[in-house]
Structure 1
Amino acid sequence: MNGICFLWLFWFSICHADSSVYREADRNQVDSPVLKYLLDPIHEVIITQRGANVTLPCILRRKPRSYKVKWSKINPVDPLESLIIISNGQHHKNYDKLKGRTRLRRSHRLDASLVITNVSLEDEGRYRCELVNGLEDQSLVLMLQLEGVVFPYQSADGRYKYTYAEARQVCEVHDGRLATYTQLYQAWTDGLDWCNAGWILDGTVRYPVIIPRGPCGGDLPPGIRSYGPKDKTKDRFDAFCFTSALKGRVYYVHGPMNYNEAAEACLARQAVMAKVGHLYAAWKFSGLDQCDGGWLLDGSVRFPITEPRDHCGGLPDPGVRSFGFPHKQQRLYGVFCYTQV
């Protein structure tokens, strides 16, 4: 009987010990903090201009024994991210169309920040810095935002002539890209009031209204009107383009001259006729103010006003005024020239 009791006590002690060890391990798993290798950024939105150099910060708290840092750009319409650069702390490899304009800053041994040189309009967007470290992968996301200006663009043949693809192309031709909703919203808060609907980058069709009126949504309050998503291949609208600061300058040459004479006047000065995006950028960032219509490369005639006054378009707010697309043989206007020097 004593032997049976001894065996029973021995078995109980083993089971009890196993149970205690198991619970202790489980408690440790719950309570133990996960090592955090990446510092949270002070600013999640980095603002810059076209042509500038910018740094997207990514700093390690500590270096794991074995790891890789991967930078990628997040495409909102594509689940696959675009790889930019991968580094193991010693060597790196560049990818994508940013190749040649990106590098890791490496100002100290825990620095994995991304440097982008000569920022372009297409560089705007969300970027991910990811620490690849086996089961402890961590990442942070930063938004690169460009200061710029949105301008509506309408065909010389009248309004609503562009499919989505054509709208993207026409913005690029005129030194811009299709505006994002955020850019259009910012332009609206800055005073853009436009009653014609246009494509934006996400494939929706919208227009900004500051002063409600009959043809522009009636008595609805001010805001961004929306037509919702449309058929990108069949439906036709105008375009809302976005541009940023430019290298070089835009200046005015007095006329009168027709379109061909205007082109020759710019060439004689080692310049070219300005694009619409050039004129908007010069108005926005250089304060270009000219109360005279001038030819642009697309055949339109416009003029920029930073200080509204009598006989300069008749509108109380700053902006770029338009005479539309006059016949190119008319000798009534000067020309806006653009030079990169």
Structure 2
Amino acid sequence: MNCVAFMVVTTSFLFWTDAVNRYYNKDKDKALQYLTEPPVYAEIKARRGENTTLPCVLRTVSSNYKVKWSKVDPLHTASENILISNGHDVKHYGTWQSKASLRRMHALDISLRLTKLELQDYGLYRCELINGMEDEHVTITLSIEGVVFPYQSSHGRYKFTYFDAKKACEEQDATLATYKQLYREWTDGLEWCNAGWLHDGTVHYPILNPRPACGKDLPPGIRSYGPRHKTKEHYDAFCFTSTTEGSVFYIPGPLNFLQAAHACNEKGASLALVGQLYSSWKFLGLEQCDGGWLQDGSVRFPIITPKKRCGGLPQPGVHSFGFPKKTITLYGAYCYR
């Protein structure tokens, strides 16, 4: 993509982002009468599998009111999961039947309790008071702590449509990352010179050290291709995962792919998914200076503290040997149990 085209799509993307922000800020000048604006807890952080509470507090209890909680899609303003209460009865819509409830610690408390968080629970939530003509709402972001990793097809670079990328992440115990998740990972040191799909259908790549093949003289940052055609264009994927119930362990080789799978099965485990390896590296401190097979046929190894004997790689992370022939008897196995 030439520089002029890059500037055009970047400007378009910034305008689109600003439009989304304006949508959510359009009521900020309106003073709240019945709800308390979250002064501290506008963003709640939690991990997959945990329980959490999204705070929302009434200023006063009015008559004939209803409380409506919903998870909002910032692009289409559509509500996914909905909980409605009149203070006595609660109705659930969507997938919230078994995981959402009002906390009700006191008469003014209409906070939302969510149990057993999943990756898909990340996002923007709206607490709305429905009171005739005086409806008002506050919004709270639920952030799932996790890690973003780039993912390519075993067939090579730029093979995924948007829907292929979404499926590929799900198959590796992950979801397509959001821009905010990618940005946070970039600030922690993620650099990847290949463009990848994000959850909203845009395409980006994060750069810390600009070079001819990666943005040339442009400053470090998240390079943007803007929204792309979801079925006609092909890129890599940026996937997001969080904590898991189990953990990853290493079995030394040399093993080929089938032998590695068998070795894991003998330990009551299975070959790890890429997302599971990243989770154990990020949250459990897994470090192993040996390449090992994963379930997708790739070979990777996780490093916390870079060492010369571990390839001399300067950055911590999960490093990849790509997708070798599965008949090669050379590597160990990363198993998940």
Fraction of identical pairs, as percent? 57
Provide the rounded CA distance (Å) in 2 between the counterparts of 1:267 and 1:309.
31
SS of the aligned residue for 1:126 comes to strand
Measured against aligned partners, the alpha-carbon deviations of 1:228-248 in whole angstroms (never above 9, x if no partner) come to 222111110100111111111
In the TM superposition, residue 182 of structure 1 has moved relative to its aligned partner by 0.8
In the TM superposition, residue 34 of structure 1 has moved relative to its aligned partner by 7.6
Contact 1:304 / 1:321 at 8 angstroms: preserved in 2?
Answer: yes
Letter in structure 2 aligned against 1:306:
I
Provide the rounded CA distance (Å) in 2 between the counterparts of 1:45 and 1:168.
26
SS of the aligned residue for 2:150 comes to strand
SS of the aligned residue for 1:325 comes to coil
Measured against aligned partners, the alpha-carbon deviations of 1:90-118 in whole angstroms (never above 9, x if no partner) come to 11011112321111111122211111111
Stretch of structure 1 that moved more, 210-219 or 34-43: 34-43
Provide the rounded CA distance (Å) in 1 between the counterparts of 2:318 and 2:311.
9
Of the three residues 30, 34, 38, the one matched with 1:37 is 34
Provide the rounded CA distance (Å) in 1 between the counterparts of 2:32 and 2:247.
51
Provide the rounded CA distance (Å) in 2 between the counterparts of 1:55 and 1:313.
44
Measured against aligned partners, the alpha-carbon deviations of 1:126-153 in whole angstroms (never above 9, x if no partner) come to 1011111112222111000111111000
Contact 1:84 / 1:99 at 8 angstroms: preserved in 2?
Answer: no
Letter in structure 1 aligned against 2:121:
D
Aligned to 2:258: 260
Contact 1:300 / 1:323 at 8 angstroms: preserved in 2?
Answer: yes
Of the three residues 138, 149, 152, the one matched with 2:150 is 152
Aligned to 2:192: 194
Letter in structure 2 aligned against 1:246:
T
Measured against aligned partners, the alpha-carbon deviations of 1:243-292 in whole angstroms (never above 9, x if no partner) come to 11111111111111111111111111111111000011111111110001
SS of the aligned residue for 2:133 comes to helix
SS of the aligned residue for 1:303 comes to strand
Of the three residues 310, 313, 326, the one matched with 1:312 is 310
Measured against aligned partners, the alpha-carbon deviations of 1:39-82 in whole angstroms (never above 9, x if no partner) come to 22231011111111010011112211211111011112323322
Provide the rounded CA distance (Å) in 2 between the counterparts of 1:89 and 1:57.
16
Provide the rounded CA distance (Å) in 2 between the counterparts of 1:260 and 1:84.
46
Letter in structure 2 aligned against 1:221:
P
- Aligned alpha-carbon RMSD (Å): 1.4
Provide the rounded CA distance (Å) in 2 between the counterparts of 1:228 and 1:83.
28
Provide the rounded CA distance (Å) in 2 between the counterparts of 1:169 and 1:35.
42
Of the three residues 122, 127, 130, the one matched with 1:129 is 127
SS of the aligned residue for 2:306 comes to coil
The higher radius of gyration belongs to 1
SS of the aligned residue for 1:225 comes to strand
Contact 1:313 / 1:321 at 8 angstroms: preserved in 2?
Answer: no
Provide the rounded CA distance (Å) in 2 between the counterparts of 1:35 and 1:204.
35
Provide the rounded CA distance (Å) in 1 between the counterparts of 2:89 and 2:202.
43
Contact 1:151 / 1:240 at 8 angstroms: preserved in 2?
Answer: yes
Aligned to 1:16: none
Provide the rounded CA distance (Å) in 2 between the counterparts of 1:174 and 1:147.
17
Contact 2:83 / 2:96 at 8 angstroms: preserved in 1?
Answer: no
Stretch of structure 1 that moved more, 92-101 or 172-181: 92-101
Measured against aligned partners, the alpha-carbon deviations of 1:179-217 in whole angstroms (never above 9, x if no partner) come to 111111111111011111111112111111111111111
SS of the aligned residue for 2:194 comes to coil
Of the three residues 177, 198, 211, the one matched with 2:209 is 211
SS of the aligned residue for 2:308 comes to coil
- Using a 3 Å threshold, how does the CA distance of structure 1 residues 91 and 154 change in structure 2: closer, same or farther? same
Query: Which segments of 5 or more consecutive residues in structure 2 lack a partner in the other structure?
Result: 1-29
Provide the rounded CA distance (Å) in 2 between the counterparts of 1:273 and 1:285.
19
In the TM superposition, residue 35 of structure 1 has moved relative to its aligned partner by 7.4
Contact 1:273 / 1:335 at 8 angstroms: preserved in 2?
Answer: yes
SS of the aligned residue for 1:215 comes to coil
Q: Which runs of 4+ in 1 moved over 6 A?
A: none
Counterpart check, 1:55 vs 2:53: yes
Aligned to 1:336: 334
SS of the aligned residue for 1:277 comes to helix
Contact 1:256 / 1:332 at 8 angstroms: preserved in 2?
Answer: yes
